[in-house]
Amino acid sequence: MIDLTSKAALVTGGGRGIGREIALRLAQAGCSVAVSDIDIATAQTTAQELEQLGVKALAVKANVADAVEVEGMFKEVLGAFGTLDILVNNAGITRDGLLVRMKEEDWDLVLQVNLKSAFLCCKEVARSMMKARSGKIINIASVVGLMGNFGQANYSASKAGLIGLTKTVARELAGRSICVNAVAPGFIKTAMTDKLSDTDKEKLSSNIPMQKLGSAADVANAVLFLASPLADYITGQVLTVDGGLVM
């Protein structure tokens, strides 16, 4: 049994999808959880679900690509919980298009929301974790950051960058017993993949050794493990949760 009572976590983009599932998993282990999202209504709904599990929960509105809002988010969370043991950088977006048609604004937006956000959040949380000489940072990357994907030059570059960031921050913080890892989901059933046609989904599944898309719960279970004392000697790693797509 993983017991995270007395621990506090922040999950960005926790209003729905994979982030919501991660927040629920952490709360089921007894962790206090702050859910931040650009869409505050969804964050509030998730926070209410967490409270029903008997843990402390907080909903925070923040655009994680904005340095001022990120600073405010950490002030609010640290003010409410007093400490922050676990940070999950989950918020992410896609703006797909083939390279030759991709607009510069779509490149910039995806890099800001998926990569700059994690830099800002890691920087903010590093101070308090270094002081505490412990902490877990988990960045939600993607298998496309490892293998590329048609129509996702911006998204795959942001996720590959996130993996590089993970390894550097892991090296810089390892001496303070802070573990920094990435989880790289494959194709997971969420609002993000609901946009795909049935034919595309079937095509995708046929390329996966396990012949099916994953669930948000599959990703959340990996995050729970990395957030727990069971992973105290694991840092700088990329854990793929993808039914065998990348091996």
Catalytic residue numbers read: 155
For residue 219, the 8-state DSSP code is H
> Among residues 176 and 201, whose Cβ is nearest to ligand NAD?
201
Cα separation, 242 vs 238, whole angstroms? 12
**Residue 166 binds ligand NAD, judged by CB under 6 A:** no
Per CB under 6 A, the segment of 31-39, 49-57, 166-174, 226-234 that binds ligand NAD is 31-39
What is the full DSSP assignment across 101-153?
A: G--HHHHHHHHIIIIIHHHHHHHHHHHHHHHHT-EEEEEE--THHHH--TTBH
**Residue 134 binds ligand NAD, judged by CB under 6 A:** no
Fill in the per-residue mask, 86 to 125: x = in contact with ligand NAD (CB under 6 A), - = not in contact. ----xxxx-------------------x------------
Using DSSP's 3-state secondary structure scheme, residue 156 falls into: helix
Nearest distance from residue 81's CB to ligand NAD, in Å?
A: 19
**Residue 126 binds ligand NAD, judged by CB under 6 A:** no
Per CB under 6 A, the segment of 77-85, 98-106, 170-178, 185-193 that binds ligand NAD is 185-193
Calculated CA dihedral for residues 162, 163, 164, 169, nearest 10 degrees: 80
Angle between helices 153-173 and 104-111 (to 10 degrees): 30
Using DSSP's 3-state secondary structure scheme, residue 44 falls into: helix
Per CB under 6 A, the segment of 58-66, 99-107, 125-133, 228-236 that binds ligand NAD is 58-66
Q: Report the interface residues with ligand NAD, using CB under 6 A.
A: 12-13, 15-19, 37-39, 42, 63-65, 90-93, 113, 140, 142, 185, 187-188, 190-193
